[in-house]
Chains A and B, each alone.
Chain A
């Protein structure tokens, strides 16, 4: 082999942007492995239990940016018991010891304690970026530690975390010398903030471009902040509730007008329709709009706002927008790439509804649409077939028909053909969530056509083991498979045990697998952790050692080089 100096090889590797490519080149030969690991700056760990943190530190001592994910996705919907695991502390401890040059940490669905945040704040002198998504276990005291000790903090991004409120002082912990903030998102915090401290912080950070405020921030405060930070690109308004004082309203509108760079708006926590016109001046520049936490903005007010947003690429709304509102989106937002329509009554019934009509209109008016999350009351095969034809570029397609197992209301047929059309037409589809009445047939289609599919979510679908087998046999790129309430049993589970080593994880709950099936899988595949989650309530008379024929309610299987984990709670059995 031609000799290349290591510096040259390293320089070439710099051009490899994805983790996957870097992982691949590291397997070519020992020399490349060595160069790659020493020059690696960014590591992504998709499952925190797939590898021990110490091992990551030893292999990649020069890491600057670490991303780790914890709980399985279905934890979002309360299917994973609260104390299942996913602790951040071992990661922070390991890196504090072996990699003090860490600058960026991104955690998703993990349990993060105040203690870990303290340790983080004190251990990494160059720490710049903290992103916590759907995490829990910490309070505003932990945030105070970050604010106090991270001298060069650039980003503090808290997305949809459960944070215990211990008072507003944390924000005042940013020292006067802190001027480096570029991005601050505390929208998920429930408690009050010190308005004066916030305004002063914003005023002394000239580079701030993203600012997402929480519900407690008043419109007055927002107005002042906008006046101090007219270069904002991404804004999460606070409560956006106004009284009727005309000057406050006009001041707000004026300050919005000055924000020429504003591209993304969110928040609107308690927004009433009367306040909306304050943002009209900047609507035509918006590429992102999130109104999904503003149930009081509906009907004509919502439509009026949308009509101004000609450049919108990303829209998140509640289903009270209705099919009519979606038709307006379709005729206005020609650049739309991502649409999310959330249910406004999370228990299932709402004032206005969206149906297949709204989505068909969108598909017809917005050909660039590639990412969809759509909660609706009904869907038809005909609509899905039309949508598939209109929008062949979907990479993410998540459809949730609120009534589980509901058929096509026009034909009373399952939705196999409709979803079949989606996977056949959308060759780049990477993520798919199914709903409605579905037989094994849809899985045949998925196995046949969805070559790029990496993540599949199944609920209340299928007739037999064959359904799951079609998917396991067909989808070469499958990484995460999650199934609930579907009739797949041991035969499907054990059909191709080697497949699970090519995937990150498999989740099955309320299916037909038994303890024997899980034990068999565990025995055959030592490099998988087969976790059986047993929640027992007091009324349950199950013995300590249930028989092998006992149905397993929840199972989580994942590949790992770390062996069984040592922090599993009592109700989790690693077989």
Chain B
């Protein structure tokens, strides 16, 4: 843990930006840091897949990705495989089903004022934090601050919103992540000034992210 703190303060010094409050913790949302990961490294797909496994019970397992999950017999003493993502064919669900439930997760992302849209696959991310990071990467003029995206050049704030399956425009972050993925049809980064009707929740840190 001390290593990580050291790194992040170095970053603040270098960039001059106030990183600490906006630093994206690359662990399970709300959970403890995973030992050994570098905070600034952009997450690749495999890592985001790992993060969506096991929920609260397995935070400690996910750091050990080097374990070969298929080595040898299971001993009687309750050994869960260390890295679930690497257990082929488990849980035993047909590919057809996996793909069918998966395929609707590509959504268009529109940004007010931008000339063209982008597309993201929501299933690539384990939670709202990672989605915001990805949007930050994608629209590289933005930085994430207080769950919103800010254009540091002119200070314009953009509120992430989405259209759900019922056709209503919602504020990103209110519902559990999985429910969001299942019901989100498309994303729109709306200028804060226009987002008056979507009454924002009182920011309370990460209480609404999963």
A residues touching B (Cβ–Cβ < 8 Å)?
74, 76-79, 134, 160-162, 188, 190, 241, 243-244, 269-274, 292-293, 295-296, 298, 342-351, 375, 400, 402-407, 412, 414, 433, 437, 439, 457, 459-463, 484-487, 510-512
Contact = CB atoms under 8 A, between A and B. Distances in A.
Interface stretch (B69-77, B111-119, B131-139): B69-77
Contact of A350 (B89, B178, B183): B178
B92 interface: yes
Contact of A134 (B87, B96, B183): B96
The 8 closest A-B CB pairs, nearest first, are A487-B73, A77-B89, A272-B165, A349-B55, A295-B182, A160-B96, A351-B178, A348-B53
Interface in B115-135: none
Given A405-B74, A439-B76, A461-B74, 8 more contacts: A77-B95, A79-B89, A272-B166, A343-B93, A345-B178, A375-B93, A404-B80, A485-B73
Nearest to B53: A348
Contacts of B91: 343, 346, 348, 375, 400, 402
A405 B79 contact: yes
Nearest to B77: A437
Given A407-B78, A461-B74, A349 B90 contact: no
24 contacts: A77-B94, A78-B95, A79-B89, A134-B94, A161-B96, A162-B95, A273-B166, A293-B100, A296-B183, A342-B97, A346-B97, A346-B101, A347-B49, A347-B84, A349-B53, A350-B178, A351-B176, A351-B178, A402-B91, A404-B74, A406-B78, A437-B78, A439-B76, A460-B74
Classify the secondary structure of A's interface with B. loop
B167 interface: yes
Given A272-B183, A293-B100, A344-B101, A349 B74 contact: no
A348 B182 contact: no
Contact of B87 (A188, A241, A346, A404): A404
A569 B55 CA distance: 40
Contacts of A296: 165, 179, 182-183
A241, A347, A348 pick with most chain B CB within 10 angstroms: A347
B164 interface: yes
Contacts of B55: 348-349
Nearest to A511: B73
Contacts of A345: 52, 178
A243 B163 CA distance: 12
B101 A77 contact: no
Contacts of B76: 414, 437, 439, 463
B201 interface: no
Classify the secondary structure of B's interface with A. loop
B54 A348 contact: yes
A404 B178 CA distance: 23
Nearest to A295: B182
Contact of B84 (A188, A343, A348): A348
Contacts of B110: none
B75 to A, nearest CB: 8
B98 interface: yes
B88 interface: yes
A237 B160 CA distance: 32
A274 B90 contact: no
Contact of A298 (B54, B167, B179): B179
Given A76-B95, A273-B166, A400-B91, A487 B74 contact: yes
A160 B78 contact: no
A241 B90 contact: no
A38 to B, nearest CB: 39
Nearest to A78: B89
B104 interface: yes
A272 B95 CA distance: 24
Contacts of B39: none
A408 to B, nearest CB: 10
Contact of A342 (B81, B93, B178, B179): B93
B144 interface: no
A293 B103 CA distance: 11
A270 B165 contact: yes
A342 B96 CA distance: 13
Interface in B174-198: 176, 178-179, 182-183
Nearest to B96: A160
Contacts of A271: 165
A510 B70 contact: yes
A403 B93 contact: no
B165 A241 contact: yes
B85 interface: yes
A272 B78 contact: no
Given A272-B165, A296-B165, A347-B49, A76 B94 contact: yes
A153 B183 CA distance: 39
Contacts of B165: 241, 270-272, 296
B79, B81, B91 pick with most chain A CB within 10 angstroms: B91
